Each structure stands twice: as structure tokens, then as C-alpha cells.
Amino acid sequence: MTFTQERTIADQVRADFPLLHQQVNGKPLIYLDNAATSQKPQVVIEALEDYYQQYNSNVHRGAHTLSGKATDAYEAARDKVAKFVNASSRQEIVFTRNATEAINLVAYSWGMNNLKPGDEIILSVMEHHSNIVPWQIVAQKTGAVLKFVELTPKQTFDFPQFQTLLSDKTKLVSVVHVSNTLGCINPVAEICTLAHEYGAKVLIDACQSAPHLPIDVQQIGCDWLVASGHKMCAPTGIGFLYGKEKVLLSMPPFLGGGEMIAEVFLDHSTYGELPHKFEAGTPAIAEAIALGAAVDYLNSIGMDKIHAYEAELTAYLFQQLDKIPQIKIYGPYPNSQGEGRAALAAFTAGEVHANDLATLLDQEGIAIRSGHHCTQPLHRHLGIPATARVSLSFYNTREEIDIFIHALKDTLDFFHSILG
């Protein structure tokens, strides 16, 4: 489709997002912070309201009508997520609070029970803190060693260096699919294939890819994949872990308590079947149901169409940013069609601090992100304290990019007049 045809789709879906239709500081809101969290369509909000107004009840084991209805809706959401990522079965989807909890689940359940002194874990310097800190803790407790893949000159995942890091000591590779700062799309299928040749397991952080790209865990070949609902039009407080059934069966529970058991005796307990073994306590029922509604919504648009439209927006964003001499963008550039990277740009603007940029842009009703984006090691690797980041979604428009660019130029001119 042409850009104009796709933009018409964007204009149509904007009406589905109540929050977008407001003013901030007296200006129409332009929300360009989608990598931090997405906005929620009305159908997702209504799914939350419907649960609490119509059938609020605890799931599983309940014999009454409301409990049965809640259980059916909760488990239907699991089916939707399983299909969304093309899992082999619904037992391979575990609901968690977010991707961070999902990574910690793997770290403590699998890592603490399978890693020993001298074993090696390969990460990359571009990882979000949630895919570094848990492995640091596990390494400290088990004696495992962390190794890091660095960047190519184009600031992408250095696959040749990754190949040199792999050895028979490698037990785990845990990498991001799409960098939330560099925007690069990592070759996760190739990473999995090579890691498996050495007998290593692979975890993929899909937080920045699941809302924007079609995900197929069987094609990727990963052992685990994690994502957060709040970045994919769902509420906060809900995420999921995909794990190969064989791998999940081999892992002990992460948390103990109600729901995750088969039988409890005073001196021992037996555990439930997958995936309930990993879902201790009352889950985020409403949030999971709303995640299912978000998946339905994304599917109704089509992930291929979302990706194609966002690629067009990305190409246009980079074209406009390139016209501003002070701007330095980090990560690879897209091709002329906007392909080859995610729909975000993290940048610096000479001596102007990212936080100052974000503050003044907010006065114009424009929401962007500033700081280290939970990638402090990456920023140190790049030799910069912070970046400003503009990140797009399928409900953004080219007109919003124009307004952002105009405001950014005015803001930089203002600082130039002060700094001389």
C-alpha cells in the first residue's frame, strides 16, 4: 500500500484511543513515547471495565457461574497470546506481571538450577537493565561468567564477535530482539541456531518487537521469549513468558503458594501442570483478559500492516531529523522504505541536554523520552550520558512528526541563542 492509504488507516484507528484526544499545556497532545508504554484502545479499557462490572471473580477451582466465566475469559486470553506468537501449545504461555518478572522467572528457576562455576552467559551491551541485572545476580550466586557482545561500526549487534564468544562453556544466550535505544533489529533466528549448536539455551526479549512486528517463536527457535503487555496496547501489570514445553517441564516453580500446586501436605507439596506451575497466587485476571483484547485489536489491524506503516513513518522521521545539523542519531539508519530498524530514534543535540529538550517539548504538548532508557551500559559504551528518544506507533501520523520537528528546531534555536 502507499503511504497515503496506510495513513488513512492510522487516522481511522486514532479514534479508538481516548487519551490521544486531549490538550497538554494548552496544545494538542502528540504522544511520541511509545517505546516506554503504548496507549490503550477503547476495547481494551472496556474489557477491564466489563470484567469488574459483570463477572469479577477468582479463576480456577470455583464452581459458581462468575468464577467459571472469569476462568474461561482468562484462559481464552492465554490461547490468544499463544496464537499471537505461534507457540506450539497453550501450555507454553505463562502469564507474568511484565517482561522483567518473566526474565527473573527463567533466571531463578532455570539459571539457579542449571548454571555452575565457569559456565558462561552471553548478553549484549545494548540490553535493557531487566536483561542484565537478573543474570548478574545469578552469576554472582552460581559462579557463572557474563560475556557481552559489542557493536559493529554501524551500532548493530556484532554477530561475528558473537560467534567468537560461543564455546562449549556457553550455557545461555539472552538478547533483545529490538533495541529500545538503537532501534536495531537483531538476527534472533540466526543467534538461536548458532547457540543451539553449542548446546546453549536462548532467551529473547521481545518487548520492543511484539507490538510492531509479526512474532513466530517456532521460526525464531528460541527456548524462551518475554514481552510486556503495556507496550502492546494492553494494561500495565501483565506480561508473558513463552517457553518450549520440554524446557518448562524441566524447570522447578519460581514462586510457591496457591494456584501452582496439585496437592499440599504438611511435609511436602506436589505442583500443578503447565502453565499453572509458574502462576502462583491470584493472577492479574482483568489485565490478562484485557491483554487478550489487545491481541485481538492488533490482529484486527494486522501486524504486517502495522509494520509496513511504521516503516513508512520511520523513513519520514529520519528524513526530517537529518535536516537538523545538531542532531546525532544512534543506531543504524533505515533504508529508503524505512526498513531495517524499529520506529524510534534516540539522539543527542550538541550541548543541549536530553532532559532539557524533553522539558521544553512538553510545553508544546509533545511527549518524548529522555535519559538512559534503562540502558546505562550502552550509553557508557557510546560515551554519552543520555539521549532524547522519539518512538512511534501505528496511531501516529506524519503530521505529528512535522509538528515535532518544527518544535524541536524552535527549541534548539532557543538554546543556541542562550549558549551562543
The residues carrying an active-site annotation are: 374
Sheet strand arrangement including 145-149: 93-96, 239-243, 224-228, 201-205, 170-176, 120-124, 145-149
The amino acid that residue 100 corresponds to is: T
Give phi and psi for 237, each to the nearest 5.
80, 10
Nearest to 270 by CA among 280, 260, 281: 260
- CA 88 – CA 217 distance, rounded (Å): 9
In a 13 Å sphere around the CA of 85, the CA atoms on its Cβ side amount to 34
Strand, helix or coil for residue 369: strand
- CA 330 – CA 346 distance, rounded (Å): 6
Nearest to 123 by CA among 61, 203, 53: 203
Residues 316-330 as b/e (b if ≥16 CB within 10 A, e otherwise) read bbbebbeeeebbebb
User: Which residues are within 8 A (CB) of 72 and not within 5 positions of it... i.e. 6 or more apart?
Assistant: none
Q: Is there a contact between 259 and 279 (Cβ–Cβ < 8 Å)?
A: yes
Strand, helix or coil for residue 26: coil
Q: Is there a contact between 390 and 317 (Cβ–Cβ < 8 Å)?
A: yes
- CA 175 – CA 148 distance, rounded (Å): 10
